[in-house]
């Protein structure tokens, strides 16, 4: 009886408080909605590989398959020719079912425990559902900018000064604009440089949640991923406690959100790139009315052939996305920077430069299946996109930092009108970028555009800073000019 009375009292309290009721209802519905909206993929038929009959096309050995998947194999194995003519594919040999892994990762092994939201989801998940998850379920504020970071997956060193400029600039761009930083999520390569940016700035584990870092990683490449299989649970995860395992990676504990893309394969990248490309394209295009359009910019440090392919896609496919490449960081970045430096105005190279590039490609990528000429063609196509490609070249006398290069690239490469560019710099609260990009060079500003900007400055509480001072000074100059006329 007492429990019944307590239940009725709780119900009454919920109905009397609409916000409390909405929160309780949301908590009840979150799990079922996630399982309805997102799926996992698993191999349903073992298909042995040429030269490795005990390993399936999905990447897993025969012993790791279900009895059903093996029984399907045994039925077809009587006809070897049919089996050989049907190579393993995601479309034919995997099956989707509701996701079984989402909740909170509690990273262990550091000075302080750090939590991150995560979900296992299909590589072809609807980006609209992904955005709903992040904004409505995980509670992220909509981004004003997305900085997608690409580079080498293996650990690499860069010049100390260049590395610090990249890390400081990336963090400053994110902090001052309310940007989302998207990475590959694993604790290696360029992701470690992003993580080090947080450490260099002295940002505690508790404060990291204020900087939105999203790791998009392939589910099939995560070491000890079985630990993450749970629904709406808190999972203890110590990346430093796992033994080494070839071909697998551990999640980086400096991220606050993880999208773990699943296409049914194991020990194989690709699912993450597909999901990442779809999400970034969705953000860059916006909805049907264009009202949710978010500027996206790519920052590159070092990188291999997969990074080169990503850069090419950003620069050539719609919607085109500006790219910042750090010269001096190594491999793909240096090759593109070299090509950009020596490219003639007609988009060609002198023959000696072409031969030098081919030699460099053979040295930098000695084991790639693609020919040096094929890679050179990709590099040339990237270097020709001078309207979208920015080469950040470090020098002792340089006054522009990486964050300024990132934000300037967004303004200049997004086909925005001057008022739209000014609105962006206001939302970022970056008067330095507005001064150098928008108010320099004697541009003519319509007075109505400045009035609109002043209204935005008031709405965004930019009254007490130099933004309003700059806007007022420009307005006075225009009024004085018109009076003289």
User: How many CB atoms are closer than 10 A to CB 186?
Assistant: 25
Angle at alpha carbon of residue 445, lines to 405 and 423, rounded to 5°? 50
Q: How far apart are the first and last CA of the chain?
A: 87
The pLDDT assigned to 76 comes to 43
Please state, in angstroms and rounded to a whole number, the distance separating the CA atoms of residues 205 and 224: 23
* Cα–Cα distance, 81 to 89 (Å, whole number): 17
H-assigned helices in 178-322 = 190-200, 271-285, 305-316
Residue 349 three-state SS: coil
Whole-angstrom Cα distance, residue 386 to residue 97?
45
Query: H helices within 42-117, ranges in order?
Result: 67-76, 80-84, 90-93
With 50 as the cut, is the pLDDT of residue 75 above it? no
Domain extents in the chain: 9-95, 102-331, 420-483
Q: Quote the pLDDT of residue 19.
A: 63
Please confirm whether the linkage preceding 319 is cis (ω < 30° from 0).
yes
* pTM of the predicted protein model: 0.85
- Residue found by looking up tokens 């989801």 in the block: 121
350 to each of 317, 361, 374, 376, how far by Cα in Å? 28, 17, 18, 14
Say whether domain 102-331 belongs to CATH 3.40.50: yes
Q: Each residue of 9-51: pLDDT tens digit?
A: 454 554 566 665 555 556 556 678 999 999 999 999 899 888 8
Average pLDDT over residues 94-117: 89
Per residue in 163-172, pLDDT tens? Answer: 999 999 998 8
Task: Please write the tens of the pLDDT for every residue from 188-247.
Answer: 999 999 999 888 776 665 666 678 999 999 999 999 999 999 999 999 998 877 766 677
Q: Mean pLDDT in the chain?
A: 83
Provide the CA 255 distance to its chain's centre, in angstroms: 12
Residue for token digits 């109905």? 15
- pLDDT for position 20: 57
Q: Is the pLDDT confidence value at 85 over 70?
A: no
Instruction: Classify 130 as helix, strand or coil.
Output: helix
434: nearest Cα among 468, 460, 461:
468
Q: What's the rounded Cα separation, in Å, for the pair 333 and 379?
A: 10
> Is 90 exceeded by the pLDDT of residue 305?
yes
Q: pLDDT per residue over 130-155, tens digit each?
A: 999 999 999 999 998 999 999 999 99
Q: Kindly state the DSSP code that residue 40 receives in the 8-state scheme.
A: E
**Class of residue 99 by CB neighbours under 10 A (exposed 0-12, middle 13-18, buried 19+):** buried
121, containing H or E segment: strand 114-122
């Amino acid at each position: 009886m007492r429990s019944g009375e307590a239940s009725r009292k709780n119900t009454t309290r919920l109905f009397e408080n609409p916000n409390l009721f909405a929160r309780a209802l949301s908590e009840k519905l979150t799990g079922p909605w996630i399982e309805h909206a997102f799926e996992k993929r698993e191999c349903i038929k073992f298909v042995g590989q040429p030269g490795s009959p005990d390993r399936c096309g999905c990447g897993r050995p025969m012993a790791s398959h279900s009895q059903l998947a093996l029984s399907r194999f045994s039925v077809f194995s009587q006809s070897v020719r049919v089996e050989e003519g049907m190579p393993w594919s995601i479309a034919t040999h995997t099956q989707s079912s509701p996701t079984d892994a989402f909740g909170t990762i509690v990273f262990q092994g550091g000075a302080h425990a750090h939590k991150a939201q995560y979900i296992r989801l299909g590589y072809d998940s609807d980006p609209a559902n992904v955005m709903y998850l992040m904004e409505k379920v995980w509670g992220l504020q909509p981004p004003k900018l997305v900085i997608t970071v690409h580079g080498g997956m293996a650990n690499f060193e860069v010049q100390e000064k260049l590395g610090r400029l990249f890390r400081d600039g990336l963090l400053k761009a994110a902090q001052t604009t309310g940007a989302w930083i998207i990475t590959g999520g694993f604790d290696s390569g360029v992701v470690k440089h992003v993580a080090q940016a947080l450490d260099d700035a002295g940002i505690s584990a508790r404060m990291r949640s204020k900087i939105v870092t999203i790791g998009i990683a392939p589910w099939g490449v995560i070491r000890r991923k079985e630990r993450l299989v749970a629904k709406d649970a808190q999972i203890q995860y110590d990346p430093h406690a796992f033994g080494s395992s070839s071909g697998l990676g551990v999640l980086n504990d400096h991220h606050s959100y993880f999208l773990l893309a699943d296409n049914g394969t194991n020990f194989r990248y690709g699912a993450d790139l597909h999901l990442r490309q779809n999400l970034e394209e969705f953000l860059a295009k916006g909805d049907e009315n264009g009202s949710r359009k978010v500027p996206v910019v790519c920052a590159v440090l070092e990188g291999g052939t997969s990074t080169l392919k990503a850069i090419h896609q950003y620069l050539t496919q719609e919607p085109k996305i500006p790219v910042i490449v750090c010269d001096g960081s190594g491999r793909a970045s240096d090759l593109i920077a070299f090509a950009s430096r020596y490219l003639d105005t007609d988009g060609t190279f002198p023959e000696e430069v072409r031969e030098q590039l081919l030699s460099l490609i053979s040295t930098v990528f000695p084991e790639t299946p693609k020919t040096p000429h094929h890679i050179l063609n990709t590099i040339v196509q990237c270097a020709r996109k001078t309207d979208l490609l920015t080469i950040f070249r470090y020098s002792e006398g340089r006054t522009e930092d990486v964050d300024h290069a990132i934000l300037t690239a967004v303004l200049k490469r997004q086909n925005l009108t001057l008022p739209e560019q000014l609105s962006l710099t206001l939302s970022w609260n970056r008067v330095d970028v507005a001064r150098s990009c928008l108010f320099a060079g004697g541009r003519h500003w319509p007075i109505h555009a400045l009035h609109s900007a002043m209204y935005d400055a008031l709405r965004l509480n930019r009254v007490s800073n130099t933004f309003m001072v700059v806007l007022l000074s420009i307005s006075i100059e225009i009024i004085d000019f018109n009076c003289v006329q």
